[in-house]
Amino acid sequence: MVVQLSLQRVRNMMRLSPRIYALANSQFSTAAEPSWRHGNSLRVPNLIGGGFVDSKSSESIDVLNPATQEIVSQVPLTTKEEFKSAVSAAKQAFPSWRNTPITARQRIMFKLQDLIRKNMDKLALNITTEQGKTLKDAQGDVFRGLEVVEHACGMATLQMGEYVSNVSSGIDTYSIREPLGVCAGICPFNFPAMIPLWMFPVAVTCGNTFVLKPSEKDPGASMILAELAMEAGLPNGVLNIVHGTNDVVNAICDDDDIRAVSFVGSTTAGMHIYGRASASGKRVQSNMGAKEPRNHIA
């Protein structure tokens, strides 16, 4: 009798929540398996010049599933040469990308937002596996970033300059909005999809090229998003990804070819990045105040 009741409860759960049950009953560890992963390798590659390139670094950081403590992937500490290659690829891609009409750049964003919607579950599963959010929260993470991609789809009107005639006797004035060049983004761990989508879609739609450094704790969502961006038509070198910790952050702040830096994270890190990058003549957007979560048992 007890067995029959238990079976009935399982059937009811499947009937009430078929989608959740199917996700939980699938091969969860491989459901979000990215196509850029080579064979059984756990190493996360860099994205340089449109290709996923395995780092030659002998040092790496384990990415752990918070629920099981299993190693999901390994993040290499990008070498100086690999970092410079990523920046050089972005610099080389900039002239042709800035001359691409804004309407053409927008069309890529339209395609990207469609691909993100189609791969929502894949992204959410990856976030759940690496960062530990529930599936619903992970989907919300992706959706909030998707709203910024949709905003980038209407960037043309925001790129319009201004013209004022006869501001003084016989003098007219006008302003033109131009892309800066190579920009960089430094992301925190707590929103693996939303924060990268805050950064690179708007930057590249405005005509800039981009070097993204995801959090070393959960890089998978950024890698999937980059893959989708290239599938949407983003040219090689427009978006590049490097992995690492403090050394890569300092390299971003110091590199002369990077014109602007965007950061989201803690106040301590933000103050360091703001001071170091601005001292190098860069424009810096430092969104500070993020809190580090701690578990307390009472």
Q: Is the sign of the CA dihedral 197, 222, 204, 210 positive or negative?
A: positive
Joined together, the tokens standing for residue 281 give 């003549």
Query: Which of 38-47, 153-162, 269-278 is the most confident on average?
Result: 269-278
- CATH tag for 43-287 (out of 3.40.50.150, 3.40.605.10, 2.60.40.1730, 2.70.70.10): 3.40.605.10
pLDDT at residue 34 in the model? 60
pLDDT at residue 207 in the model? 97
pLDDT at residue 229 in the model? 98
Which helix H or strand E contains 171, and what residues bound it? strand 171-175
Domain boundaries, the chain: 43-287
Structure confidence by residue, pLDDT tens digits, 33-51: 566 665 557 899 999 999 9
Q: Tell me the percentage of the chain whose pLDDT exceeds 70.
A: 84
The C-alpha angle 220, 221, 225, rounded to 5 degrees, equals 120
Joined together, the tokens standing for residue 237 give 């070198």
Residue 276 has pLDDT above 70, yes or no: yes
Residue 140 has pLDDT above 50, yes or no: yes
Helical pair 102-118 and 135-152, crossing angle rounded to 10 deg: 160
* Residue 197 · residue 204 · CB < 8 Å: no
Residue 191, classified by CB atoms within 10 Å of its CB into exposed (0-12), middle (13-18) or buried (19+), is buried
* Residue 280 · residue 244 · CB < 8 Å: no
d(CA 260, CA 277): 8
Side chain identity at 160, as an amino acid letter?
A: M
Mean per-residue pLDDT of the chain: 87
d(CA 164, CA 148): 31
pLDDT at residue 28 in the model? 40
* Residue 23 · residue 125 · CB < 8 Å: yes
d(CA 289, CA 249): 18
What's the count of helices (H) and strands (E) in the chain, helices before strands? 12, 11
Residue 33, classified by CB atoms within 10 Å of its CB into exposed (0-12), middle (13-18) or buried (19+), is middle
Q: What is the pTM of this model?
A: 0.84
CA nearest to 152, candidates 193, 184, 191, 198: 198
Joined together, the tokens standing for residue 130 give 């690496």
Structure confidence by residue, pLDDT tens digits, 171-199: 999 898 999 999 999 999 999 999 999 99
